[in-house]
Amino acid sequence: MTYENAIKRLEEIVNELEKGGKTLDESVKLFEEGAGLADFCDKALKNAELKITMLNSRENGDE
């Protein structure tokens, strides 16, 4: 899964939950999926930030 796909699915989940009309079980399942996707996105962003920091350090000779 890519970051972009995860964000898109997360937005879909938020929209579904905001619309309402779901049973409690459906809402909980969507929330669980969303929480997993949010965690995935958070890790992906932190990993990208680390890579950028490392690349900047190399460019500045700070290895």
pLDDT single digits (tens) 14-63 = 999 999 999 999 999 999 999 999 999 999 999 999 999 999 988 877 65
Task: Give the range of the structural domain holding residue 30, as residue numbers without chain letter.
Answer: 3-59
User: Which has more pLDDT, 11 or 60?
Assistant: 11
Q: Are the C-beta atoms of residues 9 and 37 closer than 8 Å to each other?
A: yes
Per the structure, the count of domains in the chain is 1
Burial call 34-61: b when 16+ CB within 10 Å, e when fewer: beebeebbeebeeeeeeeeeeeeeeeee
In a 3-state reduction of DSSP, which class is residue 23? coil
Structure tokens given for 23: 């049973």
Alpha helices in 1-63 (DSSP H): 3-19, 24-59
Q: What is the pLDDT of residue 63?
A: 55
